[in-house]
A and B are shown apart, each in its own frame.
Chain A
Amino acid sequence: MTEPATEPHPPSSFDAVIIGAGHNGLTLAAYLARSGLSVGVFERRGEEGGGLCTEELTLPGFLHNVHANYHTFVGLAPAFRHLGILEQGVEYVRPEVQMASVFDDDRALCVHTDIERTCASIARFSERDAETFARFKKEARQYVDLMLETFMYGPPVGINDLTKALVTFGLEGRSEFLEAKLRGSTIEQFLERHFESDQVKAHLAFHGALCGYSTDQKGLAVGYPLLVGKIDNWQVCLGGSHRVAHALWRDLVGHGGLVFVQSEVTRILTDGGRAVGVELGDGSTVEARRLVASSIDPEHTFGHLLAAEPAAEPIRARLGEVRHAPWSLFSVHLALAEAPRYEAASFDPDVDRAWVMNLGYSSLGDLLADWAAVREGRLPDPRPNAAVNSLFDPFDAPPGRFTGLLRQIVPVAPGGGPAESWEAAKEDYARRCVEAWQAAAPNLGDAVLASAIDTPADISRKLVNMVNGDWMMGEISLDNLLDRRPLPELSGYRTPVERLYMCGSSQHPHGFITFAPGYNALQVIAADIDLEPWWKWE
């Protein structure tokens, strides 16, 4: 793969200047470049991609996705159609056994791409739940396109408008699962209402947690049907997630755009309350003739880059209200000599072919206990999720070897202390996470060749826009979603500083590799600067 060419000396002027080369910044940049604008993207780090970051963390030849590993919007996000991502060297595999839970009694539940096989697996725990899930999945799959269009790929809808529309269109009478009262319900309550088996409920809640939806957060049930609509669309990016970033970069430069790495923006230049350019770390300046878009967090954008701008003061004054999740992810990346063989395979052999594994949540109570622990700053006993990409990706490890990823929900810092407190705790906690995996798959006892730890503090050190290890760049809660994210005044992608836009995952809808914040900011920018919306109806 050819590495992105970097331009050592940026031109002094672009139509559009984008701050941050994460996938949303690159997405917006690529659309603007295809629209005929000259676009310059400026990135602090040494490569483009942000969370689409793949590195040889453990041993040479072992490719680990440091952040984004699970791609669930493949083929659903408009960027796949419009930017030709799959024609730019990106290849995905959709594992037939998408995910599995191994429970403490060594039974297992598998989600397949084949709904009938999923239901057969669920039926081993509850026939009634299998029938319910079949109806739920069928209904959710039907309206997933409409929900994506409504919830994800467009400016945010207010929750009051949404629930009023649900009533107006009489959806409650048509749907077994969509109800206006979901806005007041937790995922736990939703699952308790519809399912009976502890294990089935645990697995479905685990799936929500992987998507950043905590089980105990009031109101998140409203988004749960959308999650289930794409529960079987988890895909592995062959050769590592960074390839998606490279594809976006390739599309951008193919249309005349430029990416400048190791080019930190230190100030947004303004004139009369309007964004007119940026200043870089070396003191040079770049003019933005039509717009500046920030794909980084509001704290950095308004607190640092616009520290002296009077028009930004109303936002600066409220930055303390930007909500970040009180929990984060603790990751252990492993180089393995062999793939896991689970004890639970004697119950269901398909677990050994599953991609995303739940190692230990056997009931909603297990999840609720961990959510309570992390909110109190306590480290839970590890019940990590695990993935072995090498089962599906021949490129991410040497022949006969495997990469492994363990992730555990944790507090931002153990004991509620400073982020640095991870330094004392991380080695022991990583060992316990690996032991939890080995308990489920004893053959891994001698299979670990090397490991690398990534704590919430490491997340923020690497990607500064993930404030306090907040990998979703803003709490996933009903009062921090839709038209309230990250603040009501910023939720529409415009800012009080004229010609400055927000386009990163701090905006609606949220983090994950959705391409949505960049795409949604594009709609607003196109209206403001009168761009031909060639993408809109394709």
Chain B
Amino acid sequence: MAHEVFSPQWLGQWAALINSDETLPGRAPAGVWRIYLRAEGDGVSPYVPAGETMHLMLHLEDGRCTRLERTDSAPGPRELDFRFSGPAGVFEEVAAGLRDPVDAGLAGEIKIAGDMAFLLRNAELVKEIVDLYVGRLETEWPRGRPPYGGGE
């Protein structure tokens, strides 16, 4: 069932997809990864108004998603391990499968911060989680679907 992008139900669907992969816990490094996604309203996205910021926290604990929700503010400096930040429109294009996330990262549109050595050591896992976000979530776009110009 499709849910509105970035809605609690949509996030729940993403978490369920992560947790449905039974191989992840065996391949993920032990411990908690705290990933913060920061999407800036860019005047393009109808879901994050211009000048506002969407904060989203994803916790992976031993390969299981234990938290995936929007928060009212950015986490404190001790409350995250990685940050992905960029214009909301780019995150939405990635979610819609219109923009390759690696290309967006390479082009500097989505900026990545954190322990890059850790990220690279676990590249396969990172790619798998990102791919879930990109390709397999059923998404509704009631305020318009990227590339913007009309709703579904």
Contact = CB atoms under 8 A, between A and B. Distances in A.
Q: Which 3 A-B pairs have the closest CB atoms?
A: A165-B123, A168-B123, A165-B120
A168 B124 contact: yes
A149 B111 CA distance: 10
Interface stretch (B7-15, B55-63, B100-108, B143-151): B100-108
B116 A171 contact: no
Contacts of A157: 116-117, 120
Interface stretch (A180-188, A397-405, A464-472, A530-538): A530-538
Contacts of B108: 142-146
A50 to B, nearest CB: 27
B75 to A, nearest CB: 9
A155 B117 contact: yes
Nearest to A151: B116
Nearest to B117: A157
B124 A533 contact: no
B55 to A, nearest CB: 12
Contacts of A346: none
Given A143-B107, A165-B120, A536-B77, A171 B102 contact: yes
A304 interface: no
A165 B122 CA distance: 8
A156 B117 contact: yes
Contact of A169 (B74, B78, B113, B123): B123
A144 B116 CA distance: 14
Given A143-B108, A149-B112, A169 B102 contact: yes
A174 B106 CA distance: 9
Contact of B106 (A143, A156, A162, A165): A143
Interface string B86-128: 0000000000000010110111100111011101110110010
Interface string A501-538: 00000000000000000000000000000001110110
B44 interface: no
A534 B77 CA distance: 6
A7 to B, nearest CB: 32
A157 B78 CA distance: 22
A277 B14 CA distance: 52
Contacts of B120: 150, 157, 161-162, 164-165
A156 B116 CA distance: 9
Given A164-B123, A534-B77, A537-B80, A150 B111 contact: no
Contacts of A51: none
B83 interface: yes
A150 B102 contact: no
Contacts of B116: 149-150, 154, 157
B115 A154 contact: yes
A142 B107 contact: yes
A532 B76 CA distance: 10
B118 to A, nearest CB: 9
A537 B83 contact: yes
A149 B113 contact: yes
A174 B113 contact: no
A170 interface: yes
23 contacts: A143-B108, A145-B111, A146-B105, A146-B112, A150-B120, A155-B117, A157-B116, A157-B120, A158-B121, A161-B117, A161-B120, A168-B127, A169-B123, A170-B102, A171-B102, A174-B102, A174-B103, A534-B77, A536-B113, A537-B74, A537-B77, A537-B80, A537-B83
Nearest to A173: B102
Nearest to A156: B117
A127 to B, nearest CB: 26
Contacts of A144: 108
Nearest to A162: B120
A347 B14 CA distance: 62
Contacts of A536: 77, 113
A156 B113 CA distance: 14
B128 to A, nearest CB: 10
Given A146-B112, A165-B123, A168-B124, A154 B117 contact: yes
Contacts of B121: 158, 161
Contacts of B102: 169-171, 174
A168 B120 CA distance: 9
Nearest to B125: A168
Interface in A131-157: 142-146, 149-150, 154-157
A146 B85 CA distance: 12
Given A146-B105, A533-B77, 19 more contacts: A142-B107, A142-B108, A145-B111, A149-B116, A154-B115, A154-B117, A155-B117, A157-B116, A161-B123, A162-B120, A165-B120, A168-B123, A168-B124, A168-B127, A174-B106, A532-B77, A537-B74, A537-B77, A537-B80
Nearest to B120: A165
Contacts of A156: 117
Interface in A197-234: none
Nearest to B115: A154
Contacts of B77: 532-534, 536-537
A109 to B, nearest CB: 28
Given A142-B106, A536-B77, A169 B117 contact: no
Nearest to A145: B108
A174 B74 CA distance: 32
B123 A155 contact: no
Q: Which of B80, B120, B124, B127 has the most C-beta atoms of chain A within 10 angstroms of its own C-beta?
A: B120
A533 to B, nearest CB: 5
Interface in B19-60: none
A118 B111 CA distance: 28
A158 B111 CA distance: 21
Nearest to A523: B115
Interface in A71-120: none
A125 to B, nearest CB: 29
Contacts of A162: 120
A303 to B, nearest CB: 29
B56 to A, nearest CB: 15
A161 B123 CA distance: 8
A146 B108 CA distance: 7
Contacts of B106: 142-143, 146, 171, 174-175
